[in-house]
Amino acid sequence: MTFSITLKKEQYLTYFLSDSEAISQIAVVPERGGMIILWKAQGQDILYLDKERFSNPEMSVRGGVPILFPICGNIHDNTYNYLNKTYSLKQHGFARDLPWEITKQETSNCASLTTTLESNEQTLSVYPFEFRLDFTYELKGNSLIIRQKYTNKSEKRMPFSFGFHPYYYVPNKSKVVFDIPSSEYQDQATKKVFSYDGTFDFERDEIDIGFQSLTCSSATMVDNHRKLKLVLSWSDVYSTFVFWTLKGKDYICLEPWTAPRNALNTKKKLTELDPGATCEAMFEMSVESI
């Protein structure tokens, strides 16, 4: 059979989804934010993982594909108000730090794994809404699709934003070319807007910028050093595309977000679900040799 799902108990219980014909594989760790920590395609590692941080449950993971919910980025002073009460949320929200539950497995047309997070006492103390998140990871050939369902289980309208923070392994940044569908970006540090010409200054200590005027729902990264092309595509609900990297680190983060930073306060591009309603979205990554 081409598709398989196997379990391995290391520090954490890990699910390996494989396509033997394409020689591709992903690894998902429910305990660590339900996230993908490994993706191999074309015989190469596509994702970066800081194994030291990953092994420390007190630290957020740098690597893999962290899930951002119910906010992307940070909010002003890490606080927001709802019904005259002040709540605190740390950067990128809590979904990436909580244990998720595996709720479905499938190996007929692809290797598919659904992982679920539901609201609990811990989430309700910082985000007063009952919810259910269902993320289905689908591996087929050299493509990886993340299908998402966000369900409002509370009796009030639920505001949120969501996104991903993938860490792509890039050992030689000088050999990478990008096609990002925007002509300008905002620098996170200075808040200034600059025109985008397709290049980045990797001599900077940190690049943290957001593209908000997107002309289409896809982007590419060509790595001429590793002879790989990465194609990203996403649902229209994603309005913001963030580029982040640190000097001296072998990764580049290309992050689709549904809203910019502080949206819970500004309401800009915020998703709001009626009681009982569900929002669905898709994020796809594929790799090809060049």
Dist CA 19 CA 134 (whole Å): 22
Full DSSP string of 229-260:
EEEEEE-TT--EEEEEEETT-SEEEEEEESS-
At residue 10, the pLDDT reads 85
Print the domain residue range for 163. 3-289
pLDDT greater than 70 at residue 264: yes
Q: Residue with structure tokens 């289905």?
A: 136
Q: 135-182 pLDDT, tens per residue?
A: 999 999 999 999 999 999 999 999 999 999 999 999 999 999 999 999
Dist CA 168 CA 46 (whole Å): 6
Dist CA 137 CA 115 (whole Å): 8
Cis link prior to 70 (omega < 30° from 0)?
A: yes
Written as six digits, the tokens of 89 are 């949320």
Mean pLDDT over residues 45-55, rounded?
95
pLDDT greater than 80 at residue 269: yes
Mean pLDDT over residues 48-64, rounded?
93
Q: What is the DSSP letter of 43?
A: T
Q: How many structural domains comprise the chain?
A: 1
Selection from 209, 246, 280, 258 nearest residue 71 by Cα = 258
The answer to whether the beta carbons of residues 65 and 47 sit under 8 Å apart is yes
Side chain identity at 59, as an amino acid letter?
M
φ, ψ at 175 (rounded to 5°):
-105, 15
For 15, the 3-state DSSP assignment is strand
CATH number, domain with residue 196: 2.70.98.10
At 1, is the pLDDT very low, low, confident or very high (cuts 50, 70, 90)?
low
Q: What is the DSSP letter of 212?
A: -
Mean pLDDT over residues 110-127, rounded?
98
pTM above 0.95, yes or no: yes
Written as six digits, the tokens of 275 are 């009681």
Mean pLDDT over residues 194-210, rounded?
94
Query: What is the percentage of the chain residues whose pLDDT exceeds 90?
Result: 95
Dist CA 230 CA 251 (whole Å): 14
* The residue count for the chain: 290
Q: 81-109 pLDDT, tens per residue?
A: 999 999 999 999 999 999 999 999 999 99
